[in-house]
Amino acid sequence: ASITGDLGSGKSVVSKLLCAATGFAYVSTGQIQRQLAQDMGLDTLEMNRRADTDPSIDERIDGIFVDLGHDPNGYVVDSRLAWFFLPMSLKIYLQTDPAESARRILHDPTRKSETYETTEEALAKLQARKKSENERFWVKYGADCTNLQLFDLVVDTTYRTPEQVAALILQAKQIRETGGWFGRYW
């Protein structure tokens, strides 16, 4: 499965729950990106801005997913573009109200490279980061991250627990494997 979505939508937590339920390995662009930003002495927004002019940043990150497409093992991939590089995966988009996303990120102690003073500051910087990434992915790959029709499953996580979201995804995965139909929007 490839999981993408809004910043702060719970992609990492849901991905880890899916890995625990399926035994699949976890691959996270967020961790890779935050580590790269830290190594470069930047925050993630600044690194994204540099990636607009430095293609080696995206090449380092995106190359991982191209390789996964040739690997027969099962993975849960938490990535903004994995759905694009892994077209046969169950493509999942997690949506969240922007204010809720900002609140979650502001209070997440694991995001050391993303520090904000207020929810408003977090919201503004997250929206700028999302815009920067979407524009870069469109220009570089022709990947429209805003077109939800490209995803097999779209789940609103604003009022759902990560466990509820993971259960919906596992249900969709089972239905898909048996050739059944499941709704796209939840």
In tens digits, the chain (186 residues) has pLDDT values of: 899 998 889 988 999 999 999 999 898 877 777 878 888 898 887 887 888 788 888 787 777 777 776 777 788 988 888 888 888 888 999 999 988 887 787 766 666 555 667 778 777 877 888 888 888 888 888 989 889 999 999 999 999 999 999 999 999 999 988 988 888 899
pLDDT in the model for residue 112: 56
pLDDT in the model for residue 34: 80
pLDDT in the model for residue 132: 83
CA-CA distance, 92 to 183, in Å (whole number)? 12
pLDDT in the model for residue 115: 65
pLDDT in the model for residue 32: 76
Backbone phi, psi, residue 5, to 5°: 150, -170
- Residue 155 and residue 182 in contact, taking contact as beta carbons nearer than 8 Å: no
Q: What number of other Cβ atoms are within 10 A of residue 47's Cβ?
A: 22
Beta-bridged to residue 28, according to DSSP, are 78
Q: What number of other Cβ atoms are within 10 A of residue 24's Cβ?
A: 16
CA-CA distance, 28 to 14, in Å (whole number)? 12
Burial of 159 (0-12, 13-18, 19+ CB in 10 A): exposed
185: which 2 tokens? 């929007």
List alpha helices for 76-118, DSSP H.
82-85, 98-106
pLDDT in the model for residue 92: 95
The beta-carbon contacts of 114-119 under 8 Å, at least 24 apart in sequence, are: 114/34, 114/43, 114/44, 115/43
